[in-house]
Amino acid sequence: MSAITVGQAVLLGAVEGVTEFLPISSTGHLKIAEGLMGIPVDDHAVVGFTAVIQVGAIAAVFVYFFKDIVRIVSAWVRGLRHPEQRYVHDYRFAWWVIWATVPVVAVGLAAEPLIKGPLASLWVVAGSLIVGSGVMWAADRFGRHKRGEDDTSFKDAMLVGGSQILALLFPGFSRSGATMSTALLLDLDRVAATRLSFFLGIPALTGAGLYELKDALGAGAGVAPLVAGTAVSFVVAYASIAWLLRFVAKHTFNAFVVYRIVVGLLLFALLGSGALNS
Q: What is the pLDDT of residues 173-227, one digit of tens each?
A: 999 999 999 999 999 999 999 999 999 988 988 887 777 776 666 555 578 888 9
Whether residue 153 lies inside any domain: the answer is yes
Residues 6+ apart with CB under 8 A from 19: 25, 26, 28, 29, 30, 240
Q: How confident is the model at residue 94 (pLDDT cuts 50, 70, 90)?
A: very high
Q: What is the mean pLDDT of residues 101-130?
A: 91
Q: Which of 10-14, 210-214, 273-277 has the lowest mean pLDDT?
A: 210-214
Domain with 164, as residue range(s), is: 6-273
Residue 41 has pLDDT above 90, yes or no: no
Mean pLDDT (whole number) for 232-257: 96
Question: Is residue 136 in some structural domain?
Answer: yes
Q: Could you tell me where the DSSP H helices lie in 40-88? A: 44-64, 66-81
Residue 32 reports pLDDT greater than 60: yes
Residue 30 lies in a domain: yes
Buried b / exposed e across 14-31, counting CB within 10 Å, b at 16+? Answer: bbbbbbbbbbbbbbbbbb
Full-model pTM: 0.89
In a domain, 124, yes or no: yes
Q: What does the DSSP assignment read for 17-47?
A: HHHTTTTT-HHHHHHHHHHHTT--TT-HHHH
Structural domain total, the chain: 1
Residues 6 or more apart in contact with residue 52 via CB below 8 angstroms: 209, 212, 213, 216, 226, 229, 230
| Those residues with Cβ within 8 angstroms of residue 256's Cβ, 6 or more apart along the chain or in another chain | 22, 23, 24, 133, 136, 177
Neighbours of 71 (CB within 10 A): 14
**Residue 1 included in any domain:** no
CA 256, 182, 56, 128 torsion-angle sign: negative
Asked whether residue 73 is domain-assigned, the answer is yes
Residue 188 backbone dihedrals phi, psi, to 5 degrees: -75, 155
CA distances from 223 to 4, 207, 212, 217, 234 (A): 11, 19, 14, 8, 16
Report the C-alpha gap between 269 and 256 in whole angstroms. 20
